Chains A and B, each alone.
Chain A
Amino acid sequence: MKRRSDLIAVVAVTILLPFLCAPQDALKPADGPAYRVPYRISETLHVIVRAKLNGKGPFNFIVDTGAPAMFVTTDVAKKVGVELERNWATFEHMELEGGAKIKNAQARVEDIFQIRGMNSMNLPGLRLDGVLGYNILAKYRMEFDLSKTSMTWTDLHFDPPKPRPLLGDEGASAPPELQALGGLMQGLGSAMGRGKAGPPQPRGFIGVELADEAESVRIKSVLPQSPAAAAGLKPADTLSEFAGMPVNSAADVIKLAASVGVGEEIRVVIKRDNERVELTVKTGKGF
């Protein structure tokens, strides 16, 4: 059971131990502006939002009601060039993707074992830079729907108190045996050659507009001087094969193209005036 519990401990970004805080009831003033906050779901099934700190970034944060405060990695603190005071940093300007701005956002600067563990194995599919916890999240009424691509966060004009670690600012936010997991995963990660994935690369560009017909895909238009035009594709051609696979819908084509990088050649089969024509498209850059 060991590895499984390790994984559970690492992916559950619950930062529980040493933080306590005097809860404080807020007045209930009128709602402030509502923001459309774009997000994505990481491979570890976390809700990820992006933020810029003092104009630097964007950085990737887990929305984490299991965290008492915002946490950022030491790497983030270094990149932003912020001064630390007993392991806390104050970011004068914080901006969430979607437009919400926070003045003097306070964050604990610590390489929590969960983030280290997940990053070293490249589990999330993106670089994690920290978590957003209570002192940021409580400012908003947050509306989530994972079937949508963005959330709505409404400013509540509430200034949550900064939690204080019970064991003092110098300590770590997890007991040593859990801390060790971060290092363990890091070791395993480098042994397996993980965590070194370069920046994500885009798929290739072709330059055609497609239209679904009954059980076939019609080329609706070809952008002039695009890779499609260079390959000789023409409007009204019917696409029957793409990269060696039969296609019945635009969705089929887009799915197959998702594994073709920039500058690669794809063989396509079209029907033109009832004749079968084979063409080769060399993909380009763009979208």
Chain B
Amino acid sequence: MTRTSRQWAVDSRQQGVAASRHAFLVKAAAAVLVFAGCVVAASLGRADDPPAKPEPVTVDFELMRSMHMAVQVKVDDAGPYRLIFDLGAPITLISGRAAADAGMISKEKAAKKAFFGMRGEGKVKRFQVGDVIAEDVPVMIMDHPTITAAAEFLGPIDGIVGYPFFARYKFTIDYVAKKMTFTPSDYKPQNVMAQMMGRMFGGNQKKLISPAALFGIEVDKPDGDDEPGVTITKVYAGSPAANAGLLPGDRLLTLDGRWTDSVADAIGAATFVKPVDFIQAMVRRGDETRTVEVQPAVGL
């Protein structure tokens, strides 16, 4: 394949032109892209650097009868409101009522009927969960029908704390102690709506599995082989794998703690490593299972 055609494919994808297959698709895409247009760019990084050695902040949570975690949240100093802390939510939702109290939307707008209770989106300047304060947290303002219905059993619920909040922190969850702790993390949260619109209408992206470092092995697994692991079929002389003592015929079971039950999974495990860091590979050789240390190199 030539560079130019590849380049073109990348360019056109970036321009979001992929949804041009036929008229129906274009219409369907347009219906959704209208909304993609109002997605705010992902500038969720914190402006101010976290202090040198931040102490973890503890947040108590309530374990509701439904076994959901509820936390007390202040929205731009209004509240506190009871929100569900939800690791499965890529977005953060707040109710129309909370948004109105915080001055994000008018009381009239909060009271109006809206499809799915969707009332828009915005950024909360000070989003406070217990004593943890996050700045400029993007939220959807939405009276989600499921939450409204659940609130009838469970008492008032004013939204969901999701990824745009928790992704900023190194955090722990302990259901037994009913406590969480938060410390700022280096992770830069992404924008889920922008990401998904890209996936829906960016065409079928061909993402290849790209190892982050060089090991120097080839692995294989024939059809019908249902045993755990993959077989190492080749070890390049002088490679990091050879230096670690790996041999052709070894059955690679895990790499860096990840299962390697298929060729794709084995190479996939190599996408998470950092070159020059020592990692562990678990291999079976004959009847013996052993763990070896490998130091993958910068290369490909």
Contacts and interface: CB of A to CB of B under 8 A. Distances in A.
A118 to B, nearest CB: 9
A5 B172 CA distance: 30
A203 B87 contact: no
Q: Report the interface size class on chain B.
A: 35 or more
A98 B280 CA distance: 12
Contact of B272 (A121, A131, A141, A149): A149
B238 A221 contact: yes
Contacts, number: 318
B300 A137 contact: no
A5 B210 contact: no
Interface in A122-179: 122-123, 125, 131, 133-135, 137-138, 141-147, 149-150, 156, 158, 160, 163, 166, 174-175, 177-178
A91 interface: no
B173 A137 contact: yes
Nearest to B2: A244
A201 B190 contact: no
Interface in B129-176: 140, 142, 144-147, 149-150, 153, 160, 162-163, 166-167, 169-176
B199 interface: yes
Interface string B1-28: 1011011001000000000010011001
B185 A147 contact: yes
B199 A12 contact: no
A280 B86 CA distance: 51
Interface in A196-213: 197, 199-203, 205-212
Interface string B255-290: 011110111111110101000000000000000000
Contact of A223 (B31, B140, B219, B237): B237
B22 to A, nearest CB: 10
A200 B144 CA distance: 35
B118 A44 contact: no
Among A5, A137, A147, A257, residue most surrounded by chain B Cβ atoms (within 10 Å): A5
A124 B299 CA distance: 29
Contact of B195 (A16, A43, A144): A43
Contacts of B68: 14, 16, 65-66, 68, 134
A243 B68 CA distance: 51
A97 B258 contact: yes
Nearest to B236: A223
Interface stretch (B45-53, B89-97, B101-109): B89-97
A142 B166 CA distance: 13
Interface in B104-128: 114-118
B116 A5 contact: yes
B173 A142 contact: yes
Contacts of A211: 298
A277 interface: no
Nearest to A20: B65
Interface residues of A, number: 113
B175 A160 contact: yes
Contacts of A9: 116, 144, 146
Interface in B71-96: 84-91, 93
Given A23-B67, A134-B175, A12 B145 contact: no
A177 B61 CA distance: 31
A12 B63 contact: no
B40 interface: no
Interface in B216-269: 216-219, 234, 236-239, 256-259, 261-268
Contact of A13 (B25, B32, B89, B209): B89
Contacts of A52: 259
Interface string A73-101: 00000000000000000000000011000
A267 B117 CA distance: 55
Contacts of B153: 20, 166
B90 A68 contact: no
Given A11-B192, A144-B170, A192-B25, A223 B216 contact: yes
Contacts of A65: 68-69, 85-88, 173
B192 A200 contact: no
A36 B257 contact: yes
Contact of A67 (B88, B118, B166, B218): B88
A205 B300 contact: yes
A197 B263 CA distance: 17
A258 B209 CA distance: 7
A125 B258 CA distance: 18
Contacts of A206: 299-300
B292 interface: no
12 contacts: A1-B35, A2-B115, A8-B144, A12-B162, A16-B146, A58-B261, A64-B87, A163-B66, A191-B24, A203-B209, A264-B1, A287-B217
Interface of B: 1, 3-4, 6-7, 10, 21, 24-25, 28, 31-32, 35, 63, 65-69, 84-91, 93, 114-118, 140, 142, 144-147, 149-150, 153, 160, 162-163, 166-167, 169-177, 185-187, 189-190, 192-193, 195-196, 199-200, 204, 206-212, 214-219, 234, 236-239, 256-259, 261-268, 270, 272, 297-300
Would you list the 3 A-B pairs with minimal beta carbon distance, nearest first?
A64-B88, A66-B86, A13-B88
